[in-house]
Amino acid sequence: MLGGHLRIGNVAVERGADTDVASPGYAAWVNGVWEGFYHYKPASDGQLEQMLQSHQADERVLTAVWDDSRPRDLVDPLVPVATYGTFAKTLNIGAAVVPAHLVTSVTVRPTHRRRGILRELMSADLSRAKQAGYPVAALTASEATIYGRFGFGRVTETQTLHLDVRGDVRFHAPATGSMVQLAPGKLAGIANGVFERFHSTRRGSVGRQEAYLRHATGAWGEEGPEPEPKLRAAVYLDGSGEIQGYVTYVFGGWDPKPITLKVRDLVAATEVARREIFRFLASFDLIESVSCPFAAANDPLPWALENPARVGFSEREHGLWVRVLDVPAAFDAREYRGTGSFTLAVTDPLGLADGRYGLEIRDGRATVTALAEASPADATCDVVALAPLLLGSCDTAGLIAAGLLEPSSHTSVAALAALLDLPGVPHAINGF
């Protein structure tokens, strides 16, 4: 419980009574978030309306903390000292796509930091999410060191891909299908469907908030909810004319060098579509480089090219963080290999996921049950390690070497690895 003059409450995503503009409380919450992330320009009525529409589409739950001790002649009491937002999407765990409780817009003002406001907001929220039946919570973090203490583990890494497109870029595979350049607005009826196909097949993918569609269509730009006239778009059609991917991009200007085409969003339902979109991006005259964010840690593009040295990567970052709330529900949705069984003991300082769990695996699918405390465990881990274990972000040997997973003295690590280790890495192509 927060003490003193601090008060926690929800903020409705609504227009003001008898007005067609955002309510003062909602406007104060949005501006609180913007200020927390150093967007030092209050949102205009038009921007607030855009935010409100997208937050309503996401069915966001907004929480704020107010400090009633601040002098009212100096600051509007509606202005929060902390913000916290959540919404429901899904996470692809490999064998199934499960509901995910997404956390975003976490800010605490410098005047109120390190007093336990984040801890209070997050502990209560994660308990509620577990009670509501979410197997997992997820977030994308500003700093890697904040969320481990709440049981979040890093599951994906992303990086920015740079493709040198000077001269003739040659691919091993022959070209297939076709690209069509179109006005970004045309993606309104296309982008979500392509993303859903990617999302349903890619382990680690997390559902997208409404803002992504607004960005894809150019209704929103880099600076937020304002039109982006520079945006260009194209779609990839396979041999039968079906749209299998799209890309949005902007010209980075004649300076600085190299002259760069900057991908804003690239979503491909198939690996062929992704490769063909890069073939298209490599074909622009006068352009020297193409940059593309949210590339996977094991991006296959260098393997597609006759000269893999054309591809470089920068800004390798932690991407998605996942918090397991319900071990049986989450691990039932995981992929495994072969047939076998083992018992996992989990410790969790927040008391949400701790216990002993039996995993009965048959032909790559598991039935997971909570066991009595006294059951002997084949391996032990903290809740933080559950996330990379769940998503197959790191193999069993790597988790053991990192000190995140501890096999018991009688456990065959090779047998455990034969059940748990998965090919490839999870990949999420969005932030929130």
Ligand X SMILES: CC(=O)SCCNC(=O)CCNC(=O)[C@H](O)C(C)(C)COP(=O)(O)OP(=O)(O)OC[C@H]1O[C@@H](n2cnc3c(N)ncnc32)[C@H](O)[C@@H]1OP(=O)(O)O
Residues in the site for ligand X, rule: CB under 6 A?
36, 103-108, 113-119, 139, 141-143, 145-146, 149
Nearer to ligand X, 121 or 377 (CB): 121
State yes or no: cis peptide before 258, omega within 30 of 0: yes
Asked if 278 is an active-site residue, the reply is: no
Q: Is 108 annotated as a binding residue?
A: yes
Say whether 236 is catalytic: no
| Closer CB to ligand X, 75 or 413, in the complex | 75
For residue 398, the minimal CB distance to ligand X (Å) is 25
Q: Which two tokens stand for residue 345?
A: 């003991």
Active-site option among 26, 212, 280, 432: 432
Q: Is 114 annotated as a binding residue?
A: yes
Q: State the nearest-atom distance from the C-beta of 265 to ligand X, in Å.
A: 21
- Cβ proximity to ligand X, 104 vs 244, nearer residue: 104
**Catalytic choice (26, 147, 336, 357):** 147
Instruction: Write down the least CB distance from residue 264 to ligand X, Å.
Output: 21
Residue 430 phi, psi (nearest 5): -145, 160
Residue 155 marked ligand-binding: no
Residue 310 annotated as lining a ligand binding site = no
Selection from 85, 54, 65, 99 nearest residue 209 by Cα: 54
Phi, psi values for residue 112, rounded to 5°: -125, 10
**115 marked as binding residue:** yes
Q: Are 145 and 384 in contact (CB under 8 A)?
A: no
Q: Which is nearer to ligand X, 108 or 235 (CB)?
A: 108
**Min CB(14)–ligand X separation in Å:** 22
Give the C-alpha separation, 147 to 144, whole Å: 7
Give the shortest CB-39-to-ligand X separation in angstroms: 12
Strand 379-382 to 340-347 pairing: parallel
Cis previous bond, 24, omega within 30: no
- Structural element, H or E, at residue 192: helix 191-201
Does 118 show up as a binding residue in the annotation?
A: yes
Closest by CA to 183, choosing from 228, 231, 225, 222, is 231
Nearer to ligand X by Cβ, of 22 and 108: the residue is 108
> For residue 41, what is the DSSP state?
S
Task: For Cα atoms 400, 401, 407, give the angle at the middle one, nearest 5 degrees.
Answer: 25
CA-wise closest residue to 328 among 365, 383, 370 = 370
CB-nearer residue toward ligand X: 34 or 342? 34
Q: Smallest distance, Å, CB 196 to ligand X?
A: 24
How is residue 123 written in tokens?
Answer: 């502990």
106 annotated among ligand-binding-site residues: yes
Distance from C-alpha of 352 to C-alpha of 332, rounded to nearest angstrom:
17
283 close to 166: Cβ distance less than 8 angstroms: no
The residues assigned a catalytic role are: 147, 432
Residues contributing to the annotated binding site? 106-108, 114-119, 142-143
Residues contributing to the annotated binding site for acetyl-CoA? 106-108, 114-119, 142-143
